[in-house]
């Protein structure tokens, strides 16, 4: 018998997995990706990506964690001696993501506070870059910006406190609070946004299908890329979380719930963001395609601008929006950190407190780079490489290693089927053996071609 810590309830595990999945990617990445890759037509490749890669890999990772009961490095080592590096590679990517994810959550906390007085004024871009981030030249770190440093420290204190408290008393409890809260706050702002003038034009533009590009490889790469990042797969996270599952649990069903919950949140965000952009187009007189934004500029430039124009209770809208970003971000950040905390704990046979101190401490120190005057530039570069190469490469290695080199799909399938209601059949094996490797391989090839020419 092993005495590994376990989730208190099945709902606790699912909320934690959904908490990891639902993050900044849902709110500020998905809507623009969908719009730019065919709008309503994007749902076809997106759904196919979900069913041939997202959910199959989620099932694979849940099964791995449940069967081998270890962090990602230990899980791979137990599956095959020579495969431990795969786990560490995933942990490394997670480490890098955590260093800048924390910074963005710090900004979101600050902007929740700024919302009270609409401190950003009328020039929201000038405010973000000049006054708040004090952005300097590319490639130059410059000094630390106190306005960024303090919220960043708050983020680390909250996150590490949750992780110190452990899987059940920390991670599970935090997600049981954050995720329902996030759902409620976000639903309120989406509904509010739908009543803004021009909102419906925005939503219509979002769903308007453009089938012309449906056979364009780039649309499919975008769909698979979004699914990977959005479901937090191939980052060691889902393996680590499922290693705390009790013996009896319906793995396959858990994966379907997690996958569909994440996509539902993306769809909801699509409505909310495009309703808001529709309003922005309405007030500025520009066409929708001119105001579509994503990422940092959507959240910290465009949304504040919209809030300025919204009229009554706009401060409340701002607070709810930035708190949503904060909770969505925190629940993902916790999951990323847990990958290397569990990894360190098992590798060096130490206790959780030490692993949190060392792992969390290292990440916190590394994150200071983005709290400097050059922060946003570094963040852009690192985020680009992680999103492009990290995700595709990690997913490709994982699937090819397990399906082709270690030939573990059948034993894993039996493991999952023995405890799940939904039985995995050839759909699962075929997706992992052929579809995912081909698509990810193409993705890598495409990226290399773009970057080398
Ligand atoms: N899945 C998260 C999102 O959609 C992002 C994330 C990626 C979190 C990788 C952890 C690890 O925003
Ligand atoms: Na997501």
Please write the tens of the pLDDT for every residue from 379-407: 999 999 888 778 888 999 999 999 999 99
Count the Cβ atoms, other than its own, within 10 Å of residue 216: 13
Residue 106 and residue 185: Cα distance in Å, rounded?
19
Residue 95 and residue 338: Cα distance in Å, rounded?
10
Residue 281 and residue 306: Cα distance in Å, rounded?
10
Task: Match 């290397």 to its residue by tokens.
Answer: 340
How confident is the model at residue 203, as a pLDDT?
98
Residue 428 and residue 436: Cα distance in Å, rounded?
11
Whether the pLDDT of residue 262 is over 80: the answer is: yes
CA dist 338 → 24, 152, 290, 342 (Å) = 18, 18, 40, 6
Ligand at minimal distance from the CA of 258 is 2
Ligand at minimal distance from the CA of 325 is 1
Closest CA to 42 of 195, 213, 158: 213
Give 238 Cα–ligand 2 centroid separation in angstroms: 13
Task: Provide the 3-class DSSP secondary structure of residue 156.
Answer: helix
How confident is the model at residue 223, as a pLDDT?
95
406-418: b (≥16 Cβ within 10 Å) or e: bebbeebbebbbe
- Minimal-distance CA residue to ligand 1 atom 6: 232
CA dist 246 → 2, 113, 386, 421, 423 (Å) = 11, 41, 32, 16, 19
For the chain, give the percent of residues with pLDDT over 90. Answer: 94
How confident is the model at residue 364, as a pLDDT?
98
How confident is the model at residue 447, as a pLDDT?
85
Which sign does the torsion angle of CA 280, 284, 285, 288 carry?
negative
The pTM (predicted TM-score) of the whole model is 0.96
**Residue 262 CA: which ligand 1 atom is closest?**
4
Mean pLDDT of 12-39: 97
Whether the pLDDT of residue 1 is over 50: the answer is: no
194-230: pLDDT as tens digits = 999 999 999 999 999 999 999 999 999 999 999 999 9
Give 284 Cα–ligand 1 centroid separation in angstroms: 33
Whether the pLDDT of residue 12 is over 90: the answer is: yes
Task: Provide the 3-class DSSP secondary structure of residue 198.
Answer: coil
Question: Bridge-partner residues for 144, per DSSP?
Answer: 372
Closest CA to 62 of 399, 391, 340, 412: 412
Count the Cβ atoms, other than its own, within 10 Å of residue 450: 10
Q: Are 123 and 305 in contact (CB under 8 A)?
A: no
Q: If pLDDT is split at 50, 70 and 90, which confidence band does 337 have?
A: very high
Closest CA to 248 of 55, 422, 416, 408: 416
**Residue 23 CA: which ligand 1 atom is closest?**
12
């Amino acid at each position: 018998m092993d005495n590994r810590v376990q989730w208190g309830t099945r709902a606790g595990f699912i909320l934690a997995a959904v908490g990891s999945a639902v993050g900044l990617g849902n709110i500020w990445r998905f809507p623009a990706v969908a719009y730019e890759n065919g709008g309503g037509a994007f749902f076809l490749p997106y759904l196919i990506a979900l069913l041939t890669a997202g959910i199959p890999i989620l099932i694979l990772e849940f099964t791995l964690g449940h069967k081998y009961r270890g962090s990602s490095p230990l899980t791979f080592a137990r599956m095959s001696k020579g495969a431990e590096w795969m786990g560490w590679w995933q942990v490394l990517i997670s480490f890098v993501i955590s260093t800048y994810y924390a910074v963005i959550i710090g900004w979101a906390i600050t902007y929740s506070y700024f919302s009270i007085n609409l401190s950003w004024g009328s020039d929201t871009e000038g405010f973000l870059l000049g006054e708040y981030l004090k952005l300097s030249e590319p490639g130059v770190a410059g000094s630390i910006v106190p306005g960024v440093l303090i919220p960043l420290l708050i983020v680390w204190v909250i996150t590490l406190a949750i992780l110190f408290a452990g899987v059940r008393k920390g991670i599970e409890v935090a997600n049981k609070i954050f995720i329902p809260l996030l759902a409620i706050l976000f639903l309120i702002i989406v509904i509010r946004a739908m009543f803004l003038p021009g909102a419906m034009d925005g939503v219509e533009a979002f769903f308007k299908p453009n089938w012309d590009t449906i056979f364009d490889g780039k649309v499919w790469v975008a769909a698979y890329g979004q699914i990977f990042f959005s479901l937090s797969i191939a980052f060691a996270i889902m393996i680590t979380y499922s290693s705390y599952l009790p013996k009896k649990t319906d793995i396959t069903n858990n994966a379907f719930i997690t996958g569909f919950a994440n996509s539902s949140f993306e769809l909801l965000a699509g409505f909310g963001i495009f309703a808001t952009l529709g309003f922005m187009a309405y007030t500025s007189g520009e066409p929708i395609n001119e105001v579509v934004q994503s990422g940092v500029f959507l959240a910290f430039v465009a949304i504040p601008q919209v809030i300025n124009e919204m009229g009554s209770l706009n401060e409340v809208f701002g607070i709810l929006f930035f708190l949503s970003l904060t909770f969505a971000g925190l629940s993902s950040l916790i999951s990323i950190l847990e990958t290397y905390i569990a990894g360190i704990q098992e590798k060096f046979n130490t206790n959780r407190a030490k692993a949190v101190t060392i792992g969390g401490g290292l990440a916190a120190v590394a994150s200071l780079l983005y709290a400097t005057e050059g922060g946003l530039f570094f963040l852009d570069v690192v985020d680009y490489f992680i999103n492009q190469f990290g995700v595709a490469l990690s997913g490709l290695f994982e699937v090819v290693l397990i399906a082709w080199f270690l030939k573990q799909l059948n034993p894993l399938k039996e493991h999952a089927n023995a405890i799940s209601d939904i039985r995995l059949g050839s759909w699962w094996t075929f997706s992992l053996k052929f579809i995912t490797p081909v698509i990810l391989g193409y993705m890598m090839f495409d990226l290399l071609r773009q970057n080398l020419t």
